[in-house]
């Protein structure tokens, strides 16, 4: 999985029927120094993440292992809201610090 920061939303009303009701978040990937990268993913979000939160995003067929995402044409899924990222030299990110 990759670490990403929720930075927006994507809306499209004309879509495949199986995507009805799916909310799409715009995620910027984050590097190991906590900086956002130009790389992004548009991911379905079954966990309810908000703008500015850090999340774990699973890509590929992993995005369809949730009951609600099975058989939907998804290749990216928010699987967790991140509380902490810890490296060898201490915290890289702590959700509580960001408020």
Which one of 23, 34, 83, 98 is in contact with its own copies (CB under 8 A)? 83
Residue ranges in 26-65 that form contacts with its own copies under rule CB under 8 A: 26, 28, 31-32, 38, 40-43, 46-48, 51-52, 55-56, 58-65
Residue ranges in 10-29 that form contacts with its own copies under rule CB under 8 A: 10-16, 18-19, 24, 26, 28
Residue 92 burial (CB count, 10 A): 16
17-45 as b/e: b if 16+ CB within 10 A? eeeeebebbbbbbbeeeeeeeeebbebbb
CA distances from 83 to 10, 80, 97 (A): 25, 9, 10
- For its own copies, the binding residues (CB under 8 A) are 1-3, 7-16, 18-19, 24, 26, 28, 31-32, 38, 40-43, 46-48, 51-52, 55-56, 58-66, 71-77, 79-88, 92
């Amino acid at each position: 999985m990759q670490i990403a920061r929720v930075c927006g939303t994507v809306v499209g009303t004309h879509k495949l029927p199986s995507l009805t009701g799916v909310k799409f978040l715009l995620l910027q990937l984050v590097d190991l120094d906590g900086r956002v990268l130009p790389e992004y993913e548009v991911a379905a979000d079954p966990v309810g993440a908000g703008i500015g939160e850090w999340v774990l995003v699973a890509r590929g067929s992993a995005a369809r292992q949730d009951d609600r995402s099975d058989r939907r044409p998804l290749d990216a899924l928010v699987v967790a809201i991140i509380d902490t990222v810890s490296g060898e030299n201490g915290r890289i990110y702590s959700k509580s610090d960001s408020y």
